[in-house]
Amino acid sequence: MDRLLVLVRHGQSEWNLKNLFTGWRDVGLTEKGVAEAHAAGLALKAAGLSFDVAYTSVLSRAEETCRIMLQELGQADLPTIRDAALNERDYGELTGLNKDDARARFGEEQVHIWRRSFDVPPPGGESLKDTAARTLPYFHKEILPRVKAGERVLVAAHGNSLRSIIMDLEELSGEEIVARELATGSPIIYRLDAEGRIAEKRDLAA
């Protein structure tokens, strides 16, 4: 029984590079992001891993990262399930703004609160708490049962949807999870016990 769950934040996107709030806006990977996705797939292959199913958001930067990783794993035809529940946090009125411009417009302290508080959403957008309220029911209904049943599951998604899952798995507080940085294109490998608790964790970025 493998009970393997691998979480990967998508490779660098065009708007990551430009320091823009991206959220639900559908932007592609940069050349670096494509390279990060290839490297992630090769790292998983070198670790001797393969998968029974993959999950990703409906945003192309995550879908493309997933596709490239599976290609490197020799599993290009693996069943892949796409769902908006795994989408990035919606940044509302901040979407498309340069982070420095947002600080100039709203004030550095306010932008810091929107970015790094657990439960304060930007105007028209989602807090991390809101994102978790969307992501975790899907995780518990669709993904975790398959892992607990012994399947090997790959999830390619986004910084904040993955933070929601990590918060749940690692039993972290809201304050603890907002401080967790997730590198782009860097797999985090979990092996779970029959109850869905972490038996082993390995971060390939570490």
**Which positions are catalytic?**
10, 88
Cβ(28)–Cβ(56) below 8 Å = no
Cα 72 from Cα 79, distance rounded (Å): 15
Nearest one of 121, 197, 102, 103 to 160, comparing CA atoms = 121
Cα 124 from Cα 186, distance rounded (Å): 30
Q: Could you tell me the strand order of the sheet in which 53-56 lies?
A: 80-82, 53-56, 152-157, 4-9, 188-192, 198-203
